[in-house]
Amino acid sequence: GESVGLHLPTLSVQEGDNSIINCAYSNSASDYFIWYKQESGKGPQFIIDIRSNMDKRQGQRVTVLLNKTVKHLSLQIAATQPGDSAVYFCAEIPGGATNKLIFGTGTLLAVQP
Amino acid sequence: NAGVTQTPKFQVLKTGQSMTLQCAQDMNHEYMSWYRQDPGMGLRLIHYSVGAGITDQGEVPNGYNVSRSTTEDFPLRLLSAAPSQTSVYFCASSPTWAGSQPQHFGDGTRLSIL
């Protein structure tokens, strides 16, 4: 599996700013993508998902964008709050009749007050 | 509903010991899975089950066994623990085995093998 060693990519933002977390996925046949948030000591928590037939999906303060041409996924968080500080993972389901998730390595979002 | 419940939360083992990590869900979900998470890495799939009586291997199955005798429970067994199995283990479930459904995770078991 992929690895960036012991150090996660980190995004540091000021409270109230917008955050953009990026993810490159590997399988062009993947047809479902999910963003998870993981707080310290907790399991991953579902944030938002998107199917491959969509380019954009919005939730409450979050937007996911999918660019299938370059196999890129992004999570935008509006008006970032201290409670948004966590590790964010993108995950893909490689298509077909399966629910096997393939996770990215994660990005640490640090919100400065 | 309690969701996905994992026990124990923490465990320390000696090399060669055996242990079972418990996972239970009360949502009547068909699909259950086990992942391990190592520092600085995403979660990697160990084993999964699409329903009672059916299990299959994931990305990193070696050293682990599973069974699914009921819909609710999906225990993970380490038959002879090795230091390389030191990790945080997460159990997850979703309504069915089909894609396009987010999985719900437990809060993990932190396992150290000495």
CA A90 to chain centre: 4
Residue B41 has pLDDT above 80, yes or no: no
For chain A, the C-alpha Rg in angstroms (whole number) is 14
The pLDDT mean for chain B works out to 94
B40 touches chain A (CB under 8 A): yes
Is pLDDT at A25 greater than 80 in this prediction? Answer: yes
B45 → closest Cβ in A6, A100, A104 = A100
Residues of B in contact with A2 (CB under 8 A): 41-42
Q: Which residues pair with B104 in a beta bridge?
A: B93
Residue scoring higher pLDDT (B95 or B40) = B95
Q: Identify the band that residue B2 occupies on the pLDDT scale cut at 50, 70 and 90.
A: confident
* Greatest mean pLDDT among A2-16, A46-60, A99-113: A46-60
> What backbone phi and psi angles, to 5 degrees, belong to A82?
-55, -35
Q: What is the pLDDT of residue A7?
A: 64
Q: Which residues contact A8 (CB under 8 A, 6 or more apart)?
A: A87, A105, A106, A107, A108, B40
A90 contact partners, CB below 8 Å, separation of at least 6? A23, A25, A33, A34, A35, A36, A73, A75, A103, A104
* A23: closest CA of chain B, how far (Å): 12
Nearest to A100 among B58, B96, B102 (CB): B58
Range scoring the smallest mean pLDDT among A3-12, B23-32, B39-48, B79-88: A3-12
Q: What is the pLDDT of residues B75-111, one digit of tens each?
A: 999 999 999 999 999 999 999 877 778 889 999 999 9
- The whole-number pLDDT of residue B1 equals 65
* Nearest chain B residue to A36, by CA: B102
d(CA B47, CA B65): 8
Assign 3-class secondary structure to B21-35: EEEEECCCCCEEEEE
Q: Tell whether the torsion through CA atoms of A57, A58, A59 and A65 is positive or negative.
A: positive
Q: What is the pLDDT of residues A48-86, one digit of tens each?
A: 999 999 999 999 999 999 999 999 999 999 999 999 999
Which chain A residues touch B42 with a CB distance below 8 Å?
1-2, 89, 91, 103-106
Q: From chain A, pick out residues whose CB is under 8 angstroms from the CB of B94.
A: 99
For residue B93, which residues of chain A lie inside 8 Å, CB to CB?
A: none
> Is the pLDDT score of B65 beyond 50?
yes
What's residue B20's pLDDT? 98
Q: Do B43 and A8 make contact, defined as CB atoms within 8 angstroms?
A: no
Chain B residues inside the 8 Å CB shell of A5: 40
pLDDT of residue A35: 95
Average pLDDT of the residues in A42-48: 94
Do residues B90 and B9 touch, judged by C-beta distance below 8 A? no
Residue A3 has pLDDT above 70, yes or no: no
